[in-house]
Amino acid sequence: MKEHIYETDLLIVGSGSAGLWAAYSAKQKNKDINVMIVDKGPENWGGLMACAGGDLDIVMPGEDIQDWVKDWVYYYDGLCDQELMETLFKDTYEILEQYQKWGCEYLTDENGRMDTVGVPQRGLEHIKLYVTKVKGSGGLRMAKALAKAIKEAGVESLGRTMLTDLLKDETGRVIGAIGFNTIDGSFVQIKAKAVLIATGMGGWKSSYMKNPSTGEGIAMAFRAGAEIRNMEFARVWNVPKLFGWEGQTTLLPLGARFVNARGENFMERYSKTLGSNTDPHYSTIGMALEMRAGRGPCYMDTSALKPEDAAVVKPKLGWQYINYNRLKDDCGIDFFEQKTEWMPQPLMSYGGLVADLKGATRVPGLYAAGRCRSIDPGVYTGGFALASTATSGKIAGESMVDYVQELPLVELNQAEVEQLKGKLYAPLNGTGVPAKEVLRCIQNIVYPYEVSIIKSDGALQNALHKMETLKAELLPQMGAPDAHYLMKLKEVEAIAFITEWYIKASLMRTESRCGHYREDYPDHDDNWLKWIVIGLEDGVAEAHTVDVPIETYKHPIERYYQDNFKFE
Ligand SMILES: Cc1cc2nc3c(=O)[nH]c(=O)nc-3n(C[C@H](O)[C@H](O)[C@H](O)COP(=O)(O)OP(=O)(O)OC[C@H]3O[C@@H](n4cnc5c(N)ncnc54)[C@H](O)[C@@H]3O)c2cc1C
């Protein structure tokens, strides 16, 4: 087996929006620092940003960031990390300006102004997204711009390399990582002064291009001692049944709506104030209840869109353009003229690593940025991710430059490396249960509505029992014929980790809040103004709660977004 040994000052795991921004910002801060960015996918491909619309939440000059934070306190039903949100969003305009300098374009009014064309999100007063000009390839353009910028800055990039374990010195500081090349299987060791995990969310490999979001970065950091939180919140999205689509965060505010089989705008029944113009976590509860009552299937109805708005959101390039035309030409369905069937789908976990305002976890030398760190619970505003992954990446990259200033590179303990290597390659024997089969079993455990959308104690207990059996019996039997399938196997191990804690934390939170809906506890409960935090204590994974420090925050909780809904 071939082996590669690298050394660098900063090691960045994941070349999505967060990782690329971290690499770029670290080099801007100190051009002499060595930065290496590693991805299990193609070199510097951009992660989910490469398929994203490219819309951004931007606090425009003249706006007060505190108004945005107040919106989030309301939207997250109080479970808002107020200092973190202020830190991540106050400089979003700088990010926009940088993208514009790189040639990325966003919609403006006829006078070339952007601030007049923001799309308000989820019925909130201040939070708005700004729409990319070329619908269908906005994210890809941003990813390419960033990849070019880091290449020019001298960042070293390694593609098709999955990192699997972190190594620490005797003081507990992270000093490197190991992994393997996913094409030829060769072993990789990287010595580094600090490591950034920027590996995105954990998830269930649903549609909507979420294939790489499996959570091994989160699991690897957890094993090294970092904490995780918000595991009870999962992203359940509305997706079309027949084809991939993105952009409901713009379509719904512009007048599109969900209707049931009788053509009723059913969300108006569940929310008199917001109707369909809300977060998918609420409209998917509505969809699940409609189906249970025999009023399914549900459809996206775009007939109320004004022609000029439809012209703006119609895809012009990229994968969405292909889907739009194929749907029209091959199936005879025009997305903007007919209703299309949509359904709820659990995509990803909101759970992620706990880190401070600079991105540092509780493990020295280990940082987190982007969607793999826990920023927001449960509900989402369109444009949130590309803005917050950019700023959290930028902040972490710059902080790491300061952190490594006087630090030496430390030799990795080769006995430990050999032991981890043996464990890594052990399933590579051609026999064993294929990872895909185990993935299907996990999906079957988590996808039922009563586990993922309208949760209840009985269903969650049942799911936990199945998950524990799967972990004890099926997971250890997985095998892989080659390096590619070894990567898939490692992904499924991480998915199992994420799923177990999703179910356990969902059971623990005996209330409903912020998109986590317990049918047996349908209201929010003041005793639950807490985060569930999970960490390894003496080698054992334990969950505890941490109060939201509302008395030290700037904004009290005056109202709850969830109170806009009544689900019978
Ligand atoms: C279709 C679609 C449309 C979207 N549209 C928008 C939008 O318009 N606006 C918006 O704000 N957001 C949008 N999003 C969401 C947004 O794109 C993502 O949330 C964001 O890009 C995530 O960035 P990230 O860097 O945190 O993680 P990711 O993009 O998930 O990047 C993580 C990277 O880490 C790599 N990786 C993971 N594990 C390992 C490992 N063990 N070793 C090595 N590499 C690893 C992965 O291959 C990946 O490249 C959209 C997403 C999709 C899929």
Can you give the pLDDT at residue 261?
Answer: 97
Q: What are the pLDDT digits (tens) for 359-369?
A: 999 999 999 99
pTM of the model: 0.95
Cα separation, 349 vs 375, whole angstroms: 12
Q: What are the pLDDT digits (tens) for 479-528?
A: 999 999 999 999 999 999 999 999 999 999 999 999 999 999 999 999 99
User: pLDDT over 70 for what percent of the chain?
Assistant: 99
Is the pLDDT confidence value at 534 over 70?
A: yes
Atom of ligand 1 nearest to the CA of 20: 25
Cα separation, 130 vs 207, whole angstroms: 25
Cα separation, 443 vs 567, whole angstroms: 26
Ligand 1 neighbours by CB, cut-off 6 Å: 13-19, 38-41, 47-49, 51-55, 139, 162-163, 198-200, 208-210, 212-213, 216-217, 246, 370-371, 383-386, 389
Q: What are the pLDDT digits (tens) for 428-446?
A: 987 899 999 999 999 999 9
Is the pLDDT confidence value at 24 over 90?
A: yes
Reported confidence tier of residue 312, pLDDT bands at 50, 70, 90: confident
Cα separation, 130 vs 120, whole angstroms: 9
How many CA atoms, within 13 angstroms, populate the side-chain half-sphere of residue 439?
Answer: 17
Cα separation, 288 vs 282, whole angstroms: 10
Residue ranges of domains in the chain: 240-346
- The angle, 0 to 180 degrees and rounded to 10, between the axes of the packed helices 92-101 and 384-404 is 100
Measure 100 CA to ligand 1 centroid, in angstroms: 21
Is the pLDDT confidence value at 223 over 80?
A: yes
- Relative to beta strand 352-353, strand 156-158 is unpaired
Distances (CA, A) of 320 to 247, 335, 344, 346: 10, 11, 20, 21
Measure 526 CA to ligand 1 centroid, in angstroms: 34
Choices 1.10.10.10, 3.90.700.10, 3.40.50.300, 3.30.530.20: CATH for 240-346: 3.90.700.10
Can you give the pLDDT at residue 429?
Answer: 81
Closest residue (by CA) to atom 5 of ligand 1? 52
Evaluate the CA torsion angle 42, 46, 49, 52 in order and state its sign: negative
- State the average pLDDT over residues 246-260: 88
Q: What are the pLDDT digits (tens) for 89-133?
A: 999 999 999 999 999 999 999 999 999 999 888 889 999 999 998
Can you give the pLDDT at residue 244?
Answer: 84
Q: Give the full edge-to-edge strand order of the sheet including 352-353.
A: 352-353, 228-229, 530-537, 540-547
Atom of ligand 1 nearest to the CA of 386: 11
How many CA atoms, within 13 angstroms, populate the side-chain half-sphere of residue 298?
Answer: 26
SS3 state of residue 205: coil
Mutate which of 386, 391, 490 to test ligand 1's pocket (most atoms within 8 Å of Cβ)? 386
Can you give the pLDDT at residue 209?
Answer: 62
Q: What are the pLDDT digits (tens) for 320-354?
A: 899 899 999 999 999 999 999 999 999 999 999 99
Is the pLDDT confidence value at 208 over 70?
A: no
Measure 139 CA to ligand 1 centroid, in angstroms: 10
Is the pLDDT confidence value at 155 over 70?
A: yes
Cα separation, 151 vs 6, whole angstroms: 18
